[in-house]
C-alpha cells in the first residue's frame, strides 16, 4: 500500500501527492483530499519509510473521541529524519547551528547527526530509559537538544521538551505530570547578551524529587555547576562511553512520539500528545507544500524548540524531508536587528519562518540594517503564532523579500501538529492579514455560539475542524477525559480550536483571536488562569483577574487586576507591584510577567459570582464607557471604582 523501507533512493520530496502549481490544481487536490481521504493520506504516507506498511489509514472511535492513523504500520521517526538520508547522502548538511555569537556556525552532516543521535540514544538506554518512558528536555537551542529529541524517538521513548524560559516551578509541574525520570539540560544557555543558568533552575525544579534518577547536562559554556553525585552526569562524558551505533526500535504508528505542554483555560498546563506516524506524515507534508521545499534548500525557522513550531519546522518536518535545517541560538535582535538577514545571506537560506512579534520588534529597530544583506536566496517568508497585521505583512513582503519571495501566513496550534490554514507559495493569491485557505484534508467550519454551522461568506464564528487529520493531537497525557472535554464538548463532534474567525466572500479565513481565556503574548500561549493562580500565591492577594490588552510589540500584553486582602497595609505600591511580578516570574517564567498590575477595590462580578471579563478587557484597552449591559452585576458601581483606580495609577 505504501512505500517500504527499501525505497531509500528517491527523495521523500518526490513522493506523496503532487504539489499544486495553480489554484485549479490546489482546488482539485483539496477536493480529492476530502472526497477520498483514505486514498489521499495513503498516497502521502509514501513519503515516509516504513519497516512495515500500515493496513488501514484511519480508524475513528467517535464515542471515545479516539483517532488512529496508519494502524499496523511500524516505523521510526529518527530513522526517517536521519538514517535514511545518511544512507544515500551522508555528507549533506542536516543541521546548521547558528550560535549566539554572529558569524559562528557549526554544521552537522546527516552521517554526523546519525552518530550523535546514536550515542545519545545509547546514553539514555544506559540510564534506564525504555520504550514509552518520558524524558524531559529543558534545553537551550543547541545541537544536543536535537540529538536528544531524535535519540528518544530512536529508542521509542517520549520526549517532553519544556521551553527553557519556564521557571523551576513550571518545570517541576511538567516533570511531575509526565512522570519523567530522566532530565536532560545544559549547564548554561547564552541567549543574546545574557546567560541563563539552566542547571541551577533544573536543580531547583527537582529539589527533593526522587522521581528524577538521572540528570544529563550538556556542556554549552565553561561554567562549572554543582553536580550531584549519582544523579548528575555530563552528557559529553557519557557520550564518550558509548558507540555511535544504536539499533532502531521500530514502533507502532500510534505509539507516542512526544508530549508538549501548552496552556488552556484552566491553571494546569495540558500535556498535548502526538503520535509517530500521523504526526510525521503531516509535519513533513506541510513543510514540503507550505514552503515549496526543494532538496537543496536551507530551511530557517527561528522558533525555539520549546514550542510546537520548533518541533515541527525546525526538527521533524525538514529533517523527515531530508532538508537542511537551521538551529538559531540567539534572539532575532542580537546583536542587532540585522541578525536574521545576516544568517539568511551566510547560509543562503531559501525560507525564513518566524513570528509577527519578532517582525514588529525588527520593524521598530528601523530599516537601515536591511541594507547590510541582500537576502536574494529567499523564496518563502513564513509567519505563524498570531495574527500578522497588513502593515507587518507588507513590510515582510516588500522589505525583507524585496517583493520576490512569497509570504505565507500560517495558522495552526500545538494541538494541530502542523499548519492548517495557509497560502501555497506562488499559488494562492494573498490578502495581507488573512491566513487564506485550508490545507489539504482540513475541513473547517464556523459555528455560532449555539453550535449551528454558519455557511457562506462574510460570516463570523467559532473556528472548528469537522474531521480528523493525521497531525491531530490524540490525547492529553494521562487525561483523555480532559482531552474530550477541552476540545470536543463545546461543539459535539467538532474539534474546537478556541479561536474566533471570519470567512470572507472568497472563502478566505481571517483569525480574530482566542475566544477562550487564553492570551497570545509574543506568539506564546498563556492561560489567564495560570497567571491568576501565580498571583494568588502571594500572601497579600485576595483575588485577581488577568486579561489581555493591545501591545505594540507583544501583540497582547498582560493586564492584571488585583484585589488585596482587607488587612493588608501597603507601604510602597511600586514595591508591591515588583513583588507580584517576581511572583509570576517565579511560578511561570519571564514570559508571563504582567505588563501592568492595578490594585482595585473589587472585580465586576455577576450575581452568580462570574467575573465579567468583557468589562475588564475594555478598561485595559483604554475604554472608559460603553460597556453595554452592566445591570447583571452584583455591584454595578464597581466599574466606576475600577476605572478611577486604573486612571489614577497611569
- Interacting residue ranges for ligand WT7, rule: CB under 6 A: 262, 307-309, 384-387, 409-414, 435, 497-499, 511, 514, 520, 525
Provide, rounded to whole angstroms, the least separation between the CB of residue 493 and ligand WT7.
20
Provide, rounded to whole angstroms, the least separation between the CB of residue 144 and ligand WT7.
23
Provide, rounded to whole angstroms, the least separation between the CB of residue 500 and ligand WT7.
9
> Based on CB atoms, which residue is closest to ligand WT7, 412 or 487?
412
Provide, rounded to whole angstroms, the least separation between the CB of residue 357 and ligand WT7.
11
> Based on CB atoms, which residue is closest to ligand WT7, 77 or 384?
384
Provide, rounded to whole angstroms, the least separation between the CB of residue 418 and ligand WT7.
9
DSSP label of 105: E
- Residue reference for cell 537543496: 296
> Based on CB atoms, which residue is closest to ligand WT7, 499 or 517?
499
Provide, rounded to whole angstroms, the least separation between the CB of residue 519 and ligand WT7.
10
Nearest residue to ligand WT7 on Cβ basis:
414
Nearest to 528 by CA among 560, 505, 490, 484: 560
DSSP label of 397: I
Provide, rounded to whole angstroms, the least separation between the CB of residue 548 and ligand WT7.
11
Q: Give the number of other CB atoms < 10 A from CB of residue 382.
A: 27
Name the phi and psi angles at 145, rounded to 5.
Answer: -65, -45
**Residue-by-residue DSSP string for 511-572:** EEEESSSEEEETTEEEEHHHHHHHHTTSTTEEEEEEEEEEETTTEEEEEEEEEEPTT---S-
> Based on CB atoms, which residue is closest to ligand WT7, 331 or 520?
520
> Based on CB atoms, which residue is closest to ligand WT7, 111 or 311?
311
- Residue reference for cell 526522587: 210
Provide, rounded to whole angstroms, the least separation between the CB of residue 290 and ligand WT7.
11
Measured distance CA(301)–CA(221) in Å, rounded: 24
Helix (H, G, I), strand (E, B) or coil at 98: strand
Nearest to 123 by CA among 135, 112, 132: 135
| Measured CA distances, 595 to 396, 487, 546, 584 (Å) | 27, 30, 11, 11
| Measured CA distances, 629 to 83, 125, 644 (Å) | 63, 62, 20
> Based on CB atoms, which residue is closest to ligand WT7, 428 or 536?
428
> Based on CB atoms, which residue is closest to ligand WT7, 363 or 641?
363
Q: Which residues contact 296 (CB under 8 A, 6 or more apart)?
A: 324
**Residue-by-residue DSSP string for 445-504:** EEE-TTSPEEPSSSEEEEEEE-S--TTS--EETT-HHHHHHHHHSSSTTSEEEEEEEEE-
> Based on CB atoms, which residue is closest to ligand WT7, 253 or 434?
434
Amino acid at each position: 500500500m505504501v512505500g517500504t523501507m527499501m525505497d531509500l533512493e528517491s527523495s521523500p520530496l518526490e513522493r506523496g501527492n503532487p504539489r499544486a502549481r495553480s489554484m485549479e490544481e490546489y482546488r482539485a487536490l483539496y477536493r480529492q483530499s476530502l472526497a477520498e481521504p483514505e486514498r489521499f493520506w495513503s498516497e502521502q504516507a509514501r513519503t515516509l519509510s516504513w519497516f512495515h506498511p500500515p493496513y488501514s489509514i484511519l480508524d475513528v472511535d467517535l464515542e471515545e473521541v479516539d483517532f488512529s492513523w496508519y494502524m499496523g504500520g511500524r516505523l521510526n521517526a529518527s530513522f526517517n529524519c536521519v538514517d535514511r538520508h545518511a544512507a544515500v547522502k551522508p555528507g549533506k548538511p542536516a543541521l546548521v547551528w547558528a550560535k549566539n555569537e554572529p558569524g559562528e556556525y557549526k554544521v552537522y552532516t546527516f552521517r554526523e547527526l546519525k552518530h550523535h543521535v546514536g550515542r545519545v540514544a545509547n546514553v539514555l538506554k544506559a540510564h534506564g530509559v525504555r520504550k514509552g518512558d518520558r524524558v524531559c528536555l529543558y534545553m537551550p537551542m543547541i545541537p544536543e537538544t536535537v540529538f536528544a529529541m531524535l535519540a528518544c524517538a530512536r529508542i521509542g521513548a517520549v520526549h517532553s521538551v519544556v521551553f527553557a524560559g519556564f521557571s523551576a516551578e513550571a518545570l517541576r509541574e511538567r516533570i511531575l505530570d509526565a512522570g519523567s525520570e530522566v532530565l536532560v539540560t545544559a549547564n548554561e544557555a547564552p541567549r543574546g547578551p545574557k546567560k541563563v543558568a539552566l542547571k541551577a533552575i533544573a536543580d531547583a525544579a527537582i529539589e527533593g524529587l526522587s522521581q528524577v534518577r538521572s540528570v544529563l547536562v550538556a556542556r554549552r559554556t565553561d561554567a562549572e555547576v554543582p553536580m550531584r553525585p549519582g544523579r548528575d552526569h555530563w552528557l559529553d562524558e557519557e557520550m564518550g562511553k558509548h558507540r555511535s551505533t544504536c539499533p532502531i526500535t521500530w514502533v507502532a504508528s500510534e505509539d507516542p512520539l512526544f508530549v508538549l505542554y501548552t496552556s488552556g483555560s484552566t491553571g494546569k498546563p495540558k500535556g498535548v500528545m502526538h503520535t509517530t506516524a500521523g504526526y510525521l506524515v503531516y509535519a513533513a507534508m506541510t513543510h514540503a507544500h507550505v514552503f515549496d521545499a526543494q532538496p537543496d534548500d536551507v530551511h530557517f525557522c527561528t522558533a525555539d524548540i520549546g514550542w510546537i513550531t520548533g518541533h515541527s519546522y525546525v526538527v521533524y518536518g525538514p529533517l523527515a524531508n531530508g532538508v537542511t535545517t537551521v538551529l538559531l541560538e540567539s534572539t532575532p535582535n542580537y546583536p542587532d536587528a540585522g541578525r536574521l538577514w545576516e544568517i539568511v545571506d551566510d547560509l543562503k537560506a531559501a525560507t525564513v519562518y518566524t513570528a509577527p512579534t519578532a517582525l514588529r520588534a525588527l520593524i521598530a529597530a528601523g530599516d537601515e540594517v536591511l541594507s547590510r544583506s541582500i537576502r536574494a536566496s529567499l523564496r518563502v517568508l513564513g509567519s505563524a503564532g498570531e495574527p500578522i497585521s497588513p502593515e507587518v505583512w507588507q513590510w515582510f513582503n516588500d522589505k525583507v523579500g524585496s517583493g520576490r519571495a512569497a509570504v505565507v501566513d500560517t495558522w495552526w496550534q500545538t494541538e494541530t501538529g502542523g499548519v492548517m490554514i495557509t497560502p501555497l507559495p506562488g499559488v494562492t493569491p494573498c490578502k495581507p492579514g488573512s491566513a487564506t485557505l485550508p490545507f489539504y484534508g482540513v475541513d473547517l467550519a464556523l459555528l455560532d455560539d449555539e453550535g449551528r454551522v454558519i455557511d457562506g461568506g462574510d460570516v463570523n464564528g467559532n473556528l472548528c475542524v469537522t474531521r480528523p487529520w493525521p497531525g491531530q493531537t490524540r490525547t492529553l497525557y494521562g487525561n483523555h477525559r480532559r482531552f474530550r472535554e477541552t476540545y470536543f464538548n463545546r461543539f459535539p463532534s467538532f474539534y474546537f480550536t478556541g479561536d474566533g474567525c471570519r470567512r470572507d466572500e472568497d472563502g478566505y479565513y481571517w483569525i480574530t483571536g482566542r475566544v477562550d481565556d487564553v492570551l497570545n503574548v509574543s506568539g506564546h500561549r498563556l492561560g489567564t488562569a495560570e497567571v491568576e493562580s501565580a498571583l494568588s500565591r502571594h500572601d497579600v492577594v485576595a483575588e485577581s483577574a488577568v486579561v489581555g490588552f493591545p501591545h505594540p510589540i507583544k501583540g497582547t500584553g498582560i493586564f492584571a487586576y488585583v484585589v488585596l486582602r482587607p488587612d493588608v497595609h501597603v507601604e510602597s505600591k511600586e514595591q508591591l507591584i515588583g513583588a507580584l511580578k517576581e511572583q509570576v516570574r517565579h511560578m511561570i517564567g519571564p514570559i508571563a510577567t504582567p505588563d501592568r498590575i492595578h490594585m482595585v477595590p473589587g472585580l465586576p462580578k455577576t450575581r452568580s459570582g462570574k467575573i465579567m471579563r468583557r468589562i475588564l478587557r475594555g478598561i485595559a484597552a483604554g475604554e472608559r464607557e460603553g460597556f453595554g449591559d452592566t445591570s447583571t452585576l452584583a455591584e454595578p458601581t464597581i466599574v466606576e471604582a475600577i476605572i478611577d483606580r486604573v486612571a489614577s495609577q497611569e
